[in-house]
Amino acid sequence: MEKREATMSSWSPERNQSPRGLDPHFSRTLFLLLLIVAPLAQGVTPDPEACQVFQSDNGSSINCHPPAKVPQYFPADTIYLSVEFFNLTQLPPDTLQGIPNLQELHLSSNGLESLSANFLLPVPQLKVLDLTHNALTRLPPGLFWGSAALHTLVLKENQLEVLETLWLHGLKALRHLDLSGNHLRTLPPGLLANFTDLRILDLGNNQLETLPPDLLRGPVKLERLHLEGNRLRVLEEGLLVPQPNLRYLFLNDNQLTMVAASAFRGLKQLDMLDLSNNSLTSVPKGLWTSLGQPGAARDMKDGFDISGNPWICDQNLDDLYQWLVDNKDKMFFRNNTCCTEPTAMKGQTLLAAAMSHVKPTAGVEMGGNSLAEHCTPLGN
């Protein structure tokens, strides 16, 4: 015992200097932190009212969170700035003056009520602007006139009730637009017409009842589309047709009663579809078979969810039944995907109905009867 300890300390001198026996991982982390922070701190004890500064070859990154005080000026080489969780309501219009290389600006959770039209003019290289969880009701027209490089704009959880096309003028490189968690009721025509590079569009958790038919005619390279948590009643024929790259489609938590037969026709790469918690009783013939690549095995590799709809399990679903049986491995929440009518089928799962309808023998393999026993509609 003693012999071993002696050996240890002889080739591990630090051990004697850490009497409280720091966990080796912890001390290594601490060491790395010290390496990063020490040259900046210049021997001064960290000030809780100071923002954190990290320097790299590319410039300075600044993180300010309470209780730090937001400085009046930032280093001229600032490339990344995060000022979050303050209750600022307004920012001085010249906040970004003197930091022309800024690439990322994070201003979430500040209670910002408005921005001035010139706010972003000093930072033409800005790529990411995060305004999550503020109190913006509008944006000043012209805000983005100097923001041709901006590719990510997050306006999640603000108080927007409307959006005007003019507010987004100047954006040319937009790839990710997040407008979720606002109070949007309608969107103007042409809103996204110029955003041909858009990959991710999040309109989730608003109050949209309809969408302009041309909404997605500009952004035809979408990969992810969030429309969940709105009040959509109908998915129209043309909306999604030019979306050959769309992989994730969220339509859950709406009031859909109708999906047009050709609504999914353009979706050749879809990996995930969520239609759960809507008011669908049936779907038109051909809807499902139009998904994916013609001839190839239907992919939908990350699954699909059609639970929480009041399915009427009659012959109108023949087409869906066949597709379900072929794709049952990718089905989420089978036990919450229930028949509500006709009476004889009430309480059965849609999959059990499909199995017994399509291939009477398949029910035996799958235990079709036991599936029926566990049908629990969502929200009941």
Ligand X SMILES: *[C@@H]1O[C@H](CO)[C@@H](O)[C@H](O)[C@H]1NC(C)=O
Q: Which residues bind ligand X (CB under 6 A)?
A: 56-58, 66, 86-87, 165, 169, 190, 193-194, 229, 253, 277, 308, 335, 370-371, 373-374, 378-379
Shortest distance (Å) from residue 308 CB to ligand X: 6
Cα–Cα distances in Å, from 58 out to 55, 61, 331, 354, 369?
8, 9, 47, 59, 64
C-alpha–C-alpha distance, residues 283 and 290, integer Å: 13
Element (H, E) at 366: helix 362-366
- Give, in degrees to the nearest 5, the angle at Cα 149 between 106 and 205: 50
In sequence order, what DSSP letters do the residues of 209-224 get, joined into one string? S---TTTTTS----SE
C-alpha–C-alpha distance, residues 147 and 2, integer Å: 67
Shortest distance (Å) from residue 71 CB to ligand X: 15
Of the candidates 365, 341, 344, the residue with the CA atom closest to the CA atom of residue 355: 365
- Give, in degrees to the nearest 5, the angle at Cα 356 between 351 and 361: 120
> Of the two residues 96 and 371, which places its CB atom closer to ligand X in the complex?
371
Shortest distance (Å) from residue 86 CB to ligand X: 5
> Of the two residues 231 and 265, which places its CB atom closer to ligand X in the complex?
231
Shortest distance (Å) from residue 322 CB to ligand X: 22
Strands 200-202 and 176-178: parallel
Shortest distance (Å) from residue 53 CB to ligand X: 14
C-alpha–C-alpha distance, residues 132 and 123, integer Å: 19
> Of the two residues 201 and 291, which places its CB atom closer to ligand X in the complex?
201
Shortest distance (Å) from residue 207 CB to ligand X: 10
> Of the two residues 8 and 148, which places its CB atom closer to ligand X in the complex?
148
- Contact between 215 and 239 under an 8 Å Cβ cutoff? The reply is yes
Max Cα-Cα span within the chain: 83
Shortest distance (Å) from residue 379 CB to ligand X: 4
> Of the two residues 195 and 267, which places its CB atom closer to ligand X in the complex?
195
> Of the two residues 232 and 267, which places its CB atom closer to ligand X in the complex?
232
> Of the two residues 292 and 368, which places its CB atom closer to ligand X in the complex?
368
